[in-house]
Structure 1
């Protein structure tokens, strides 16, 4: 098999969603400190991390969209290992809305059916163009409600995008989140390296969340697996 990593690196002060706390990552204990403290024959180093559950590449739990949604620890793991395709939407302008017709054209160009019970990853080129500059946090294009409804009608369980939000910044993005709750789907944010999937055909998407009790989201190690 061939595995393509689609996950952003997490590090101290990695860019986070506007208004969210930063990722804090540091040394808890060095090898030398541990050795001196325990007098053991070998010092064991450790680090610590503090972050919002929407940090880095992550999947939103339905609980994020509304009180009636399930939390991330209840999200079915069967929906985390699914068939996927990637669509080329790099021509969409910054801050623009991705429409159903944009998706239809991209699916036709990819010459791949949308997998029922699977995922659709949207390569807008936003991460490649802007990360880690400040434009990364607000200049993304994204789906509108009609496009979200179109994706749901294809029978997907979630979709993913290479930006911090599924819709363009503003009211449209909030309405897309609400639509996901109403349509019983979710989405994955802050993917990267989607360009590596274009033209490669269908793959198996894997993105397992952490089992955070009551969590509204979870970072995932998102990968695309191709059978050789």
Structure 2
């Protein structure tokens, strides 16, 4: 078995979506402080973290798209361990819309079918090109509404992308979110290391969310698992 980590590292003030609060990560208690308070032979260190539920690599809950959608604690875990493929879209220009024709051509080039009940990960190269510079939060390419509909028609439960939003910045991105609710799919944002999956065929994607009551999203540890 080979596991490829597709998750962004979380750290103090890691880049966050424009308008969202920053990730705050700090020391709550050091080993020395714990030992002084309790006399524990080793001392027990701990840290704290404060963040929006859309921090880092995360999956959006349908609740994020509209009040009729389910929250992340209700999202079926069966949809979090699914077959997946990764397609190469690195030739798409920054800020451009990814069309159904682009997806069809990339799937054909990958030489592997879109798995029904699975996921498609879109390697745009955006994370590799821009992270952690300011362009990471604005210059991504992304799917348009027609491409989102095309993905849903293939029978996926979600799709993922290596940027902070599924569509290009602006109105199209907002409409892609609404389309996901209408199509009963969702998406995963801020993936990384997708380049390591290209040309390797189908894998098992795992991305389990935390059980946040009423949550609109959750950070996940996204991985691709290959049978060796």
Does TM-score exceed 0.5, indicating one fold?
A: yes
Report SS of the residue matched to 1:195: helix
Q: Distance in 1 between matches of 2:112 and 2:79?
A: 20
CA–CA distance in structure 1, aligned partners of residues 20 and 95 of structure 2: 21
Aligned-partner Cα distance in 2 for 1:189–1:117: 19
Is 1:79 equivalent to 2:79 in the alignment?
A: yes
Match of 1:60 in 2: 60
How many Å separate the matches in 2 of 1:61 and 1:40? 42
Q: What is the CA-CA distance between 1:39 and the residue it aligns to? A: 1.6
Aligned position for 1:23: 23
1:25-71 CA-partner distances (Å, limit 9, x unpaired): 00000000000011222200000000000000000000000000000
2:168 and 2:137 mapped to 1: Cα distance?
Answer: 11
Cα distance in 2 for partners of 1:145, 1:189 equals: 17
**In the alignment, which residue of structure 1 is the partner of 2:176?**
176
- TM-score of the pair, normalised by structure 1: 1.00
In 2, Cα distance between equivalents of 1:39 and 1:212: 35
CA distance in 1, matches of 2:41, 2:200: 50
Count of residue correspondences? 228
Q: Check if 1:38 corresponds to 2:3.
A: no
2:217 is aligned to: 217
Quote the RMSD (CA, aligned, Å).
0.3
How far did residue 218 of structure 1 move? Answer: 0.1
Distance 2:131 2:56 in 1: 12
The CA distance in 1 between the partners of 2:39 and 2:45, in whole Å, is: 14
Equivalent residue, structure 1, for 2:226:
226
- What are the Cα deviations for residues 124-147 of structure 1, in whole angstroms up to 9, with x where unaligned? 000000000000000000000000
- Unmatched runs of 5 consecutive residues or more in structure 1: none
**Mapping of residues 12-161 of structure 1, within 5 Å:** 12-161=12-161
Paired with 2:165 and 2:85, the residues of 1 have a C-alpha distance of: 19
* Cα distance between partner residues in 2 of 1:179 and 1:96: 18
TM-score (norm 2): 1.00
Q: Distance in 2 between matches of 1:149 and 1:190?
A: 21
SS across alignment from 2:213: coil
Unaligned stretches of 5+ residues in structure 2: none
**Is 1:205 aligned to residue 209 of structure 2?**
no
Alignment of 1:178-197 (within 5 A): 178-197=178-197
Measure the CA separation in 1 of the matches of 2:203 and 2:49. Answer: 32
Moved more, 184-193 or 38-47: 38-47
Please list the CA deviations of residues 156-207 of structure 1 after superposition, one character each: whole Å capped at 9, or x if unmatched: 0000000000000000000000000000000000000000000011000000
